[in-house]
Amino acid sequence: MAERRIEREDVDAFAAGAALLGAGGGGDVRVGAHLLRHLLAERSLRLVPAADLPPDGIVVHTGAVGSPDVISERLLSPVDLARAAAAVAEQVMGPIRAAAAFEIGGLNALVGAIGAIELGLPFVDGDLMGRAFPKLTQNTLALHGVAPVPLAVASPAGDVVVVPLMGPRAVEPILAGITAGMGGAASVAGYPTTAGDLARLGVRGSVSACLELGRRFLAARSAALPVLVADLGARLHGVGRVEEIVPRHGGTPGTVTVIDSEDGAVVRVDHQEEFLATAVDGVPAACTPDVVAVLDNRSRRPLQVEEVRVGQAVVVCSLPPLHAWPDSARDLVGPTAFGLVGMEDR
């Protein structure tokens, strides 16, 4: 099988795909795209499926944690990613054979690739979420009881925190505390896993799928909407103007109301950090782990949740999840995980 590589000219497609899979969350991909494009000017990145790696070879996942706003202002340093990964390698006392992304949606897809380049390791064609989720532990490994430890967090100031052991419920608060201490955002490495486990439990081929999705999106971006939607394999729920935005409040999801300009249908999009679910005329149409995306109808750019404005012309559509989540994952990545209760009423 021919060796696959990510080249500089793939970055646009990669970023576009990651933005779509970000479902309105996961951070702004543009920052990562610039950095990746810069790094790929001199180096290239080999893409390997986990199954092609030696089964006992260690794979480390890298990414960014913290507030997207901080990340977009205080640029990520690839060096921090490498330092965090090195700290994890020290803990597992073995060489790292490949690097991977935590999530294929949003900024972290690109950060995973940046980490691999900086470490000079192959990039695993796969991730742990198949989209973007707000929590580090909302992934396929966690579903099988795997903890992200040992985990290392590195700040641009040179601080490195290593957490050798954490209970599943402690991960988020501890990570939040460390991130806050590091100024709101940091580089993280964790989930050191053997390639064999990853091939079995991870989301396979998601980097290729992301690249393919991005390519199709860029190709059909200016085409008629039905063409674009069909090319993406997406489902269209509504095209119209945003009439009301109720922001999320605490654990209660917020809502965007779009009135379809064609048939007047009422399209409701529930959201937390990501778009979670959509209902047309009160009938649920798509729901996490489906990827609900809201595009600006003029530029066709996938919108982040906080970018949506009242009066904006938007397209509401959804993509099937890259991973077939089992029923047992409902509490982890289903609507109830986001405070959306009663979505199964129907």
Partner 1 sequence: MSETLRVADLLAEPELSGARVVAGAAGLERLVLDVAWYDAGDPAAVADSLLLCRPEAVAPAYRLDALVRRAHDSGVAGLLVVAETEVPLLATSRLADRLAVPLVWLPHGRPVHVLQELTVRVRAPELAEARVVNRVVRRVHGRHTAPEILGAVGDELAVPVSMLAADGRSLVGPELELPDEIRLDRAIPQREAGFLVHPVHDPDSPRVTAWLAARLDRPSHGRMNQVASALAVTEPHVRSWLTTQRAQSRHDALVERQTLAEIVAHRDGVSRGVVESAVSLGWQLQQWHVGVHAVPRTGLDDNDRERARARWASELAAQGVAVVACQDDGDRWLAWASAEVEPPTADARAVLQQVRRAAAAMPRDLGIAVGIGRPHRGPGGLVETLDEARNAALLALSHDYRPVVEHSDELGVARLLATWQESEVTRSFAETALAPLMDAPSQVLLATLRAYLECGGSVVETAAATGAHRNTITTRLQQIRERLGVDLNDPSQRLALQVACRSLRV
3-state SS, one letter per residue, for the chain = CCCEEECHHHHHHHHHHHHHHCCCCCCCHHHHHHHHHHHCCCCCEEEECHHHCCCCCEEEEEEEEECHHHHHHCCCCHHHHHHHHHHHHHHHCCCEEEEEECCCCCHHHHHHHHHHHHHCCCEECEECCCCCCCCCCCCHHHHCCCCCCCEEEECCCCCEEEECCCCHHHHHHHHHHHHHHCCCEEEEEEEEEEHHHHHHHCEECHHHHHHHHHHHHHHHCCCCHHHHHHHHCCEEEEEEEEEEEECCECCECEEEEEEECCCCCEEEEEECCCEEEEEECCEEEEECCCEEEEEECCCCCECCHHHCCCCCEEEEEEECCCCCCCHHHHHHHCHHHHCCCCCCCC
Cβ nearer to partner 1, comparing 218 with 265: 265
Q: How far is the CB of 341 from partner 1 (least distance, A)?
A: 7
- Choice between 160 and 266, CB closer to partner 1: 266
Nearer to partner 1, 263 or 331 (CB): 263
Closest contact distance (angstroms) between CB of 271 and partner 1 is: 10
Least distance (Å) between residue 273 CB and partner 1: 16
**Least distance to partner 1, CB of residue 24, Å:** 16
Angstrom CA distances, 92 to 30, 85, 164, stand at 33, 11, 9
Looking at beta carbons only, is 99 or 287 nearer to partner 1?
Answer: 287
Nearer to partner 1, 249 or 298 (CB): 249
Binding site for partner 1 (CB under 8 A): 243-244, 246, 252-253, 255, 257, 259, 264-268, 270, 279, 281-284, 339-343, 345-346
Q: Give me the least distance between CB of 120 and partner 1, in Å please.
A: 48
Looking at the Cβ atoms of 80 and 270, the one nearer to partner 1 is: 270
Compute the least distance from the CB of residue 258 to partner 1, in Å.
8
Nearer to partner 1, 167 or 264 (CB): 264
Read off the amino acid at residue 110.
Answer: L
Taking the complex as a whole, the smallest distance from the CB of residue 283 to partner 1 amounts, in Å, to 6
> Which is nearer to partner 1, 212 or 244 (by Cβ)?
244
For residue 311, the minimal CB distance to partner 1 (Å) is 13
